[in-house]
Chains A and B, each alone.
Chain A
Amino acid sequence: MEPIFPKWTNRIPLYAGIGVSLLLIAIVTGIWYYFSPKFLAVGYEPVQPIAFSHQLHAGQMGMDCSYCHAGVEKGSFSPIPAADTCMGCHNKVKKDSPRLKVLRDSFENKTPIPWVRVHSLPRYSHFDHSAHLTAGVGCVSCHGRIDKMNTVSMVSPLSMGWCLDCHRNPLPNIRPQSELKNMIYDPHAEGYIPLNDPDYKDKLIQGPQACGACHY
């Protein structure tokens, strides 16, 4: 009698077994890899309304971050400078440059410059700059080499895992209070040991891991 199914169908269970498990592995790795903020968030570099360059201002001209982001040591957020701050120089420097037209308009009409936000946490999580700076975490640990960026881009995933990775073992990221805004200083290369620093000596530097610290 002619068999109903051809002979090769005997192997279907085998193929299915291999195929389904491969597919499962592929889906899991795919989600683990592609759905991670390391893939989806890092590298975000929006076009800004003014071609402002940190590489020129903070890098080449060595301006301190606090000149523009004044108050970051004291407050939870880091202020983006007002047009007045820029106009302290640009009412003289490159006064008529077309690249600064948005700035001049904003200054004259007292309207905000429509900067595009680069770093932004979801509204259910809270972050405080001053707490991290007093604990000795420098800008470069989270924002990367801003002084080399013509346009600011995101170098950290800003995910919960990233926050907790550091909170579990913050010591390698701690630097002296005087070097917080120094982009080149490397505590490792300098052989810096936070526990010997009088600023941190009697403090327990430990990031919180309780949910309520960040979600409230």
Chain B
Amino acid sequence: MVQIKCNNKLFSSIIGATFLSLTLIGCRGQKSENPPILPIQNMVEQTSFGPQSKNEFYKDGRAYRPQILGTVEFDKPKTDKRLYEGKEPDSTEHDPKWVKKIPLKLSEKDIQRGQAKYVVFCTPCHGYAGDSDGLVTQRAGGVIRPSNIHDKERLALPVGKIYDAIHNGVNNWNMPGFASQLSVEDKWAVVAYVRALQLTRRATLENIPADIKAKHGWSNKQ
């Protein structure tokens, strides 16, 4: 009698444990709002701070302190107005004189890098070809109205102004600037790529170097 009872209990507890673990197995990878549990807590939290971590000592809670106004970067001073601002040295705040020529030597590889950066930062609004048909522009339903890179005014823009558009944005953040996302070289590379895009619709046979014309059998007559 005792034996049977005992077996029953054993039996039911085995069944219970099986069910419990089966249901818990189902929880593996389940979505949860509770932070991960680390069974061993040694040194998980330390008094040092990493990037983007929290420090309650400061009122805003940021461990990384924002730059103090007027901080000057170590390394070479950025006094070259042509390179860093896209302006001629004698231009003033109210009367900017934009540079007409890219103040850097760029190779084909740089233009390819410019394309890569253009695809990341500009296509959402301006579209791959610059026709203002980016997916974000379409989704936003008319609130974002990027200028068409191929229209007349944009063709006439000096490179310095395009650089300034990328660096500082346009028209009070109507187009955002990308000063912190792109390095100076990257920004000029994007400028060069925008110029290349514009050329794709304007180029004539005269723009093509003679050796390439000869290679493909293109000639001025025809």
Interface residues of A (CB under 8 A from B): 6, 8, 26, 30, 33-35, 37-47, 60-64, 66-67, 70-71, 76-77, 79-80, 82, 84-85, 87-89, 91-93, 95, 111-112, 114, 117, 122-124, 153-155
A43-B30, A64-B119, A85-B176 known; A8 and B3 CB under 8 Å?
yes
A46-B35, A67-B124, A112-B60 known; A122 and B43 CB under 8 Å?
yes
Total A-B Cβ pairs within 8 A: 111
Whether A60 contacts B139 in the complex (CB less than 8 A), given A40-B39, A79-B52, A92-B144, comes out as yes
Rounded to whole Å, the gap between the CB of B50 and the closest CB of chain A is 7
Q: How far is the CA of A45 from the CA of B9 in the complex (A)?
A: 40
Q: Are B43 and A70 in contact, with the CB atoms below 8 A?
A: no
| CB pair A64 B44 closer than 8 Å | no
> Which residues from A are CB-within-8-Å of B21?
30
Tell me the complex Cα distance, A99–B40, Å.
Answer: 38
Name B28's contact: one of A38, A46, A67, A123 (CB within 8 Å): A38
CB–CB A41/B33 < 8 A: no
14 interchain pairs, CB-CB under 8 A: A35-B39, A38-B28, A40-B36, A43-B30, A46-B33, A61-B135, A61-B139, A63-B135, A67-B124, A71-B181, A76-B51, A89-B140, A111-B60, A123-B45
Nearest-neighbour CB distance to chain B for A32, whole angstroms, equals 12
Residues of A close to B62: CB separation below 8 A: 112
Which residues of B sit under 8 angstroms from A88, Cβ to Cβ?
A: 169, 173, 175-176
The answer to whether residues A77 and B36 also contact, given A87-B176, A88-B173, A123-B44 and a CB cut-off of 8 A, is: no
State which residues 118-158 of B face A: CB under 8 Å. 119-121, 124, 135-136, 139-140, 143-144
Q: Does B104 count as interface, using CB distance less than 8 angstroms?
A: no
**Are the C-beta atoms of B43 and A67 separated by less than 8 Å?**
no
Q: Does B200 contact A (CB under 8 A)?
A: no
- B144 touching A93 by the CB < 8 A rule? yes
Q: How far is the CA of A80 from the CA of B180 in the complex (A)?
A: 13
Given A63-B124, A93-B143, A111-B60, are A44 and B35 neighbors across the interface (CB < 8 Å)? yes
B39 touches A38 (CB 8 A): no
* Beta-carbon nearest neighbor of A122 in chain B: B44
Given known contacts A88-B176, A92-B140, A45 and B43 CB-to-CB distance under 8 angstroms: no
Q: Is A124 a contact partner of B124 (Cβ separation < 8 A)?
A: no
Given A79-B52, A92-B174, A122-B38: A38 in contact with B45 (beta carbons within 8 A): no
Could you say which of A35, A71, A89, A123 contacts B46, with CB atoms under 8 Å apart?
A123
- Report the minimum CB–CB distance from B114 to chain A (whole Å): 14
Q: Which residues of B contact A123 (CB under 8 A)?
A: 43-46, 48, 50
Interface residues of B in 15-70 (CB under 8 A from A): 17, 21, 24-25, 27-39, 43-46, 48, 50-52, 60-62
What 15 additional pairs, Cβ within 8 angstroms, besides A44-B36, A61-B124, A88-B175?
A38-B28, A40-B36, A40-B38, A40-B39, A44-B33, A45-B33, A47-B33, A60-B139, A61-B135, A66-B121, A93-B140, A122-B44, A123-B45, A124-B46, A154-B36
Bound: A64/B46 CA distance, A: 34
Max chain B C-beta neighbours (<10 A), residue from A42, A60, A88, A112: A88
Across the interface, name the chain B residue whose C-beta is closest to A40. Answer: B37
Cβ-based interface call for B203 (8 A): no
In angstroms, Cα B128 to Cα A64, docked, is 13
B2 contacts the other chain (Cβ, under 8 Å)?
yes
| Residues on the A chain within 8 Å of B39, using CB | 35, 40
Which chain B residues border A47 with CB–CB below 8 Å?
Answer: 33
CA distance A44 to B28 in the complex (A): 11
The winner among B120, B135, B174 for most chain A CB atoms within 10 A is B120
State the CA gap A79–B53 with chains docked (Å).
11
Alpha-carbon distance A60/B139, docked complex (angstroms):
9
Q: Is the CB of B28 within 8 A of A42?
A: yes
Complexed CA–CA distance, A194 and B119 (Å): 25
Verify A62–B135 contact, CB threshold 8 A: yes
